[in-house]
Each structure stands twice: as C-alpha cells, then as structure tokens.
Amino acid sequence: MPPQSQSADNAPGNDTAEQNAEALLRRQRIAAAYDPHLVAAAGERLAHQLSRAVAGMQKGDGLVLPGGRPEEQVARAASFLSRVPHKEASLVDRFEGLVSTAVSQGIALHHPHYVGHQVPPPVPLAGLFDAAGAVTNQGMAIYEMGPWAMAVEQAVVRQLAERLGWSPEQCNGLATHGGSLANLTALLTARNVAFPSAWQEGLPRTGPPPVVIAHADVHYCITRAAGILGLGTRQIVPAGLDHRRRLDPQHLDDTLSRCRRDGTPVIAVAACSGSTPVGAFDPLEAIADVCRRHEVWLHVDAAHGGGALMSRQHRHLLQGIDQADSVVLDAHKMLFMPALCTFLFYREKRHAYAAFQQNAPYLFSDTASDDTSCRLDFDGGLRTVECTKRATVFGLWGVWSLFGESLFADLVDEVFAKAQRLYAMLTEADDFEAIHEPQANILTFRFLHEKLRDAPPHVVSAFQQHLRTRVVESGTFYLVTTQLDGATVLRTALMNPLTSDADLATLITTLRDTARSIDVAQLPVLAGP
Amino acid sequence: MPPQSQSADNAPGNDTAEQNAEALLRRQRIAAAYDPHLVAAAGERLAHQLSRAVAGMQKGDGLVLPGGRPEEQVARAASFLSRVPHKEASLVDRFEGLVSTAVSQGIALHHPHYVGHQVPPPVPLAGLFDAAGAVTNQGMAIYEMGPWAMAVEQAVVRQLAERLGWSPEQCNGLATHGGSLANLTALLTARNVAFPSAWQEGLPRTGPPPVVIAHADVHYCITRAAGILGLGTRQIVPAGLDHRRRLDPQHLDDTLSRCRRDGTPVIAVAACSGSTPVGAFDPLEAIADVCRRHEVWLHVDAAHGGGALMSRQHRHLLQGIDQADSVVLDAHKMLFMPALCTFLFYREKRHAYAAFQQNAPYLFSDTASDDTSCRLDFDGGLRTVECTKRATVFGLWGVWSLFGESLFADLVDEVFAKAQRLYAMLTEADDFEAIHEPQANILTFRFLHEKLRDAPPHVVSAFQQHLRTRVVESGTFYLVTTQLDGATVLRTALMNPLTSDADLATLITTLRDTARSIDVAQLPVLAGP
C-alpha cells in the first residue's frame, strides 16, 4: 500500500493540519518498515548469510563457542539499539550486518566439534519454513487464527501417533513450546484426573499428600512440575534404577505397593525414553504392566528418545510406549528441528481436555456457537498452556514433506552409531573410562591417567570439570559434564550428524593433550575452598 | 562437508561391507539435507515468496480467512507427508511449493481487512531475523548455549526496564513463550514468596485457602494459573470495575480489607494494562497505593498495553507501573513482533529466582563451578519454565536496531488513533452502538437497527454472533465477538497499521449490508437449541 494513497483517508474533522501532516509521515515510516520489496531484498541477503554461516561451521572454521564475557556481549548487543542509523548505509546492508553479527556470535552447533547438550544443528531448511510462519504470524489459539498451521500440526501429530502404536481417532496430540512445558502439562492432566476437583477447588487438604514416582535420573522439569502444581518437589519419589540406569520395574512395583499400603495417592509414574544424563531407555512394557496393575497413570518423557520411533533399527527401544497414558517428544532433539517444537500425546482423547477448563468468551465462543464440537478439536488453546502459539510444526512438516520420513531414520541411526563408535574408541584407550555403554547418542566418560587412578574421588571429579572448562574455553570442542552417583564425569550428546569418526578421534586427542597439561596438585578444588 | 571425504572415516573393524556401504549412503543423504547451497537457493525462493505474499495481502488480494473445513485441511497437509517426492522436480522447486501452500492457506494478517484478535501482522523483517536464530538454533538454557541470543535478550530487557521506570541493576527480566506462560510464572513467583515452603513441601493444608484478586475482565490465563498452581480457579476473587471496565481501587481496597479481616492470605492482585475484552488500562498508581498499604504483591498483565510505553502520546496510560512487583509484556502484540516473544519483569531482582529451584547437574554445574554467580544471571533456564528456549528476541532486537525505537511509537500511535477513528464513525452512524470509548486499539460495538432495538437481549446477542459469522465466512473481513455483562458484542482489535480509514468505512458498510440481509426471525437461537 503506497503511502501516497493514504492521504485521502486522512480527513477527520477535528484534527489540526499539523497533526494530519504528522500522521501522514507516521504512515509513511510504517509503510517503509512493512515494504514488501524490503522483504525480498533482505531475504536474499539472509539466504546467503545463512548459507555461508552453515558452510563455514560445517567446515570447522572458527571456534565452536566464541569468547566474550556476558556483560560485555550484552553491552555490545545494546549498542545497536541506541545507535543512530547511518543514513548512507542502506537498510538491507544494515540488515545483513545485524544478521552476520547474530550468527557469528552464537554457539556453532553446525560445527562438527559441537558434541555438547541435547540441542541439534537443525536441518537448515526447517528454519526457513519457520520464517514463513513467523512473517505470516499464525496464532493458533483458535483454528481460525492459524488454519494451515493447525492442519500441519495435526497431520504430523497423526503420523507420530501411528508410530506410537495409536489410532489417530482415539488419541490426542498437540504441539507446545518445549519439553518442560509439555511434561508440566502432562502431569497437570494426571493430577486433574487423579483429583478431579483440584482444578476448581485446589489440591485436597486432607489425607496423605499425593506423590509422583519418577525415574531417579528424570529431567529437572519433572521435579519442577511438582513444585509448580502445588504438590511440592519433595513429593517426587525416585524410582530405583538398574545397572544401566533404567527404571527398575520390580523396584517400581515395590514402591507402588508401599504407597498403596500407606494410602498415599500416586498421581503418575514418570518414566524415560532416553534419560537426560545417559540416554537410558526404560523397559516400558514391564513398567506399563506394573502401572496397570496399580491403576496408575504412566507418563513417558521421550523428549530425547522419541525420535527413535522413526528408525527401524532402534524403535525397539520404545517397545511398550503404546501403553503409556501420556508421552512427550521433542522434535527439536532427535528429529533435528529448531527449538521449540515439542509434542504431547494422550492415549485417550478425552484426557487432552482434562488439563484446562476456562471461560474465554472473546476467544472460543465464536467457534463454539457456530459449529459443532468437532471444530473445537482444532482450537489449540483449549489444550495448551499457550493461548497465542506459533506455527511450531511448519519446519517439521516442510522437511518431512521434502525429504520423506526416511531422513529422520537416517539421522537417528547416524548419531546413535556415532556414540557406539566413540564408546569403542574410549574403551580401546588406556587413559579413558567409558561410564556406560550408550543406548542412544549420549555418552558419559572420564579421563583417568596414572596420576588420577589413586586420587580421591573429589579430585577425580574436579579434574573432569577442569578439563571440560579448559577444552570449552579453547573453543576447539564443546562438550559438557554431568554428575552420576556424586561423581563429575564428562558427557557428550552426539547431536551433529556431520561429526565424523575423525572428529571423534580428534576429540580424544584434544582431551588427552589438555588433560596431560593439567597439574593435578593445582586443581581449583585443592587450591581453595 | 562433501560426502566423498567421509569414506575415510568409515573403517570400524566389526562392520560388514554392506553395513559400511549403507552407512556411506546414509551420510550422503544427510549431507544433502544439510547442504549449504540448498540454504542459499531455498532462502532466495523464500524471500520472493514472502515478499509476494505480503504484497498481495497488503493490497487486499484474496480472502482474509481462506475457507476449508479443518478435517479437509488436515488431510491435505497430511498428503504432503506421505507423497513420494517427484524426482523430476528439484528440491528448491518443491520447497517453494510447500512455502507457497503454507502462506496461502493461513489467515492473512497483513490484509488491511484483518481487524480481529490481538495478533498483529508483524514487521516482516522480524520473521527473517527469527530465521537466523532458528537455523543456528540457540538453546539459551545456559548462557553458553546461546550467548548472543541471551545478550540480545538482556539488552532489550534493560531498555524496556528503563521504560518501566526501573534501574536495570535492581530489577530482572526474561523472555518466555507467551503471555500465558509469563503470567503463570509471575503468579508462581508470588505464590512462592507468599508461601516460601510451598515449592518443596506443597501448598499449606491449614488455614484459610489463599486467593488471587484479579481484575474482573482478566485474561483467562490468570484463572488458569490458579488451577495449575494448585490453588483452584475458585480462589480467583474478581475485583470490581468502574464504568470503563477498569479495576476500581476503592473496590480493591474493600476486598483486601475483607480478606484481612477473614485471615485469607492474598497471593497477588492482578491488574491489567490493556484488558483483553476492551483494552482498558487500570489506574495503576491508585492500585499500587492500595497494594502497598495491604502489603500485597501487585502483578500487572500489560501483555497488550505494555507496548504503549514506547509512545510519548500514550505512555501515561501506564503511569504507576513502576510500582508493580511483576509485569508481563507481549512483544508479539503491540511491539508488532511474530509470536511468541513475551517479557516478564520483576521489580526486585531476587524475585526472579523465587519461581524455580532445582538441581540439574548436567546443565547448570558447568557454569556454576567455573565462574561466579554473575554468570548464572545469564543462564536463562534458572528463571524460565523453558529449559531449551529459542532466540525469541532476535526479531525485536533486529527491528529496533534497524528502524530505531521510534517505529514502535509510530505503530502504537497509529493503531490507537485508528480505534478512535472507528469509534467516531460508529458514533455517527444511526445503526451501530459503540459499547465503550477505546483507551487502546480494541473496540466493542453492536449493530442495532430498528428491528433489533426492541428485541429481547438474547436475540440481540445472537444477531451479533450471526452477523460476525456471516462476515467472517465471506472472507471479506475478520473480526470477532466477546461477551460483556452477558451480552454478545462485536469486537475488533485494530492490529494492522496499514488498515486505512477507507477500510474502516468499508467494514461498516459490509457489516451493515450483511446485517440487513439477516432475517431476525430466522436466527439460529430462535430456530432451535
């Protein structure tokens, strides 16, 4: 809409000429910011910036994690906000400069030496599909405010539900912003099913306080959920693990029997398909048997491991997941999507509406009073914490449509194989100790040379932590640590499918060389408090 | 990383030749999906598709809301997932086709006849900046996993905090996924501050149950928050409104006095800066006085109206917001960003850490043990429901840096002025009734011709609902309804800054012409249940 054409609209009787002139200028400035030509020109620059950035990272150019202290980086980011625009530089040049800064100052997930947290370098085109959702801004609280975004979401939900072993007609699924929010929503539902009056009247104030029984290595968001939902984080009862840190069904059975004897209500059992610290897959069939016998809600946090449903080779790890009451799956983990794109599934459709109930006449009544309840099934806001959402599933739908579902199997198979490869390499080395044989693409291990083998445990832990810090600060690799049974160990999630065996060999060499340069007697833990 | 170079890596001793060959093919397929050249080529197509789409919508081409029943659209979206890729069509051609489908089947927020919910047509370049965040996938749970994304977030937080009247050193702010999640987080914090043992031990089981006192027109997510947090939705006590549907400080004072007499603990008072139904701005200074006197947490849901802080002309509406304990502001409303980009602010920094406490050794310990607590201030996950987040603020930072903060003032001033203009036009018309004089860009009104003036209220309500349905189904305009004091009324949020006065005149004509074609005797409410 060219600004000239708007002057005709600008004829309210009580405005002054000066106000009219200012309003006209204002509309011109706004039209310039919304100029479609600018979208084309800036978009082209974006395409080439992103292409170059991805290519550079893939080749291993630069550091995995750039340096700079947080305060300094904040000051730098702030400087752009208050800078007077250079009139001589065109908008698209400045756009390109800002994009260039943004991509160069982040962590380089596409770098093959990125072997850190469970955040992947996404299939790049997914991010471009997401941009289509962002520019058109499909809100999705109700179907009307994002009809294609909801169609895409539900199409993918149905495909994934079938892989869970469920009929799309009987189950229900939704997309939401992250595994933490999805796990919270699932446990809220379980709480409301266990205590139907809790939503309106609050948690019961009499009788033994209810508990959630959770895999002892469960992600912190499950414990947080107990805090948020008013149960209290102490009401998380850890379920014992077997030697591979999988939930032990026998231990679970004992715990549930004890709860029954004590009269303690159990809101849910939370199991893992791909636990956070080591990527362990719980034996879901045996766990589901136990839960069914005790009539308890089974929630499976498959945020990490759910992607293995796409792999013929690995889907057996999720055997029994069809018997869960609720399942969480992060597409931004093992389906290699940009964050955040999480799915929450309920085996029984009706449970999807047990999480929330509310009156929002300005929102849902247009839909409710003009169509049947079938329409409400597509009003996403009734089932999610989010009111306005975003087209979270455009990327996954687009990449799936372009490359076919086999790409996801390839990706899962590739990174799972990499973990096996690294495990073999570490096992062969004298000076490393793999803590567990990986079930997924997460591996924990320690460096242990002669000087460390007889050192006290806290020194060995401090050494691993210091080793990690040294390597990460050098920018050569990005890996992390975790704590297992009180000991700090190195941890890697092999999230980059382009990390090669040669990169893994370099990782070992880098860790070894760095470790040998560390004086055990000078470790921070020994030097001070 | 060209696939050829990877064959050298492929020499594990125990694999068969067939497995090796399959692994090589797998890596080639993956490398093809991650090909940087594809990013450039597809990105160019995206740029031109989005440019054309925005241009077409701005010109008013096509319908505001395309037709199609949800089930049919889901089937259509699903058909792409299972389609065998045409080998003859190139990847970029197919990419372009998918993007084209996605943008053409959504609601056309950039269409000047979109005058519906509080979701704006975003400044288009914001969506492109977001793509830079998506392709590089900056996770942000800890600073390391998205250093620039966190720098950008905190730079914008500090700018906005100053506009709230706060010193960036003393307050705290964060970005999160949506107003509902931000309001939940704020009320969780208030609950934990009021009941410090609730996080670990659960809500108190003795004494009068605590309440939240909320603006009677508060967004449904506040009521939901009481349900989620274990308080119960019935523990929301509505605070009375004045004649402009603003929270009445005197009524609030009376309510708080009654609570004190009864010994009922009050977790928070929730006020609105831009209420959802009518966009009312509460008198915050007087409300803050009352809250201070009663020593109660003041939460302000400025999800909609917070953007007015950027406008010299309108910021007076938020006078007193500096005295709130917590404030929510959606950048994806009146800062014209793509969803979701919400800010939550705490006046006192320490409160930001009262929402959550947890042990997550694999995540936060790397940071905690290697640097001072100042580093933890930049580990976003400690203060948000999200663990992995996304670079939510890239768009706002980029647009602000490109166009300067004055663009946001322009946008707010423009759409607020539009609501005044529509109000004037409706007031002049014989057959419309404006329900309120707008404080913001939200306006409610009714069509009332001679046949309706003497009709019973439920008929008048049914008429408005039916009128809205007819207009929206025709695709000519998108507006909504709400209920005020039991009556259904038409409601518009003027979210498109390119909607002209001529468009508003056409809206009135369209509503009038459609209304005249409706036979009151044949309304659904009269025809049957």
Summarised one tens digit per residue, pLDDT across range B103-128 is: 999 999 999 999 999 999 999 999 99
B4 CB-contact burial (10 Å; exposed 0-12 / middle 13-18 / buried 19+) = exposed
Q: What's CA B107's distance to the chain center, in Å?
A: 16
Fold topology of B53-66+93-124+405-529: Aspartate Aminotransferase, domain 1 (3.90.1150)
- Gap between the Cα atoms of B211 and B204, Å rounded: 13
Summarised one tens digit per residue, pLDDT across range B152-169 is: 999 999 999 999 999 999
> What is the pLDDT at residue B377?
81
Q: Is A107 within 8 Å of B65 when comparing Cβ atoms?
A: no
Q: Is B80 within 8 Å of A357 when comparing Cβ atoms?
A: no
- Gap between the Cα atoms of B58 and B498, Å rounded: 8
pLDDT class for B14, splitting at 50, 70, 90?
Answer: low
The arithmetic mean of pLDDT across residues B275-289, rounded, is 98
- Interface test with chain A among B7, B34, B101, by most A beta carbons within 10 Å: B34
Indicate whether B359 pLDDT > 60.
no
> What is the pLDDT at residue B365?
61
Q: What is the CATH number of domain B167-369?
A: 3.40.640.10
Residues 203-242 of B with CB under 8 A from A: 203, 205-206, 209, 219-221, 223-224, 227-235
Fold topology of A407-527: Aspartate Aminotransferase, domain 1 (3.90.1150)
Which residues of chain A fall short of a pLDDT of 70? 1-15, 85-86, 358-375, 525-529
Peptide bond into B340 cis (omega under 30): yes
Domain residue spans of chain A: 139-403, 407-527
- The predicted complex's ipTM stands at 0.95
Residue A503 contacts residue A113 (beta carbons within 8 Å): yes
Summarised one tens digit per residue, pLDDT across range A358-410 is: 555 556 666 544 444 456 789 999 999 999 999 999 999 999 999 999 999 99
> What is the pLDDT at residue A360?
52
How large is the greatest C-alpha to C-alpha distance in chain A, in angstroms? 89
- Interface test with chain B among A135, A185, A377, by most B beta carbons within 10 Å: A135
Q: Is A219 within 8 Å of B375 when comparing Cβ atoms?
A: no
Beta bridge partners of B215: B239
- Gap between the Cα atoms of B202 and B208, Å rounded: 15
The per-residue pLDDT of chain B, averaged, comes to 93
Among B464, B406, B210, B247, which Cα is nearest to A81's?
B406
Of B178, B202, B375, which has the smallest distance from its Cβ to A387's Cβ? B178
Task: Look at the alpha carbons of B217, B219, B220, B224 in this order and tell me if their dihedral is positive or negative.
Answer: negative
Give the tokens for residue A44: 């082209």
- Interface test with chain A among B35, B71, B72, B74, by most A beta carbons within 10 Å: B74
Residue A109 contacts residue A118 (beta carbons within 8 Å): no
Residue A447 contacts residue A432 (beta carbons within 8 Å): yes
For A139-403, the fitting CATH number among 3.40.640.10, 3.40.50.720, 3.40.50.1980, 3.40.50.1820 is 3.40.640.10
| pTM for the whole structure | 0.95
Q: Is A151 within 8 Å of B74 when comparing Cβ atoms?
A: yes
Of B23, B105, B421, which has the smallest distance from its Cβ to A148's Cβ? B105
Q: Give, rounded to a whole angstrom, the gap between the first and last alpha carbons of chain B.
A: 65
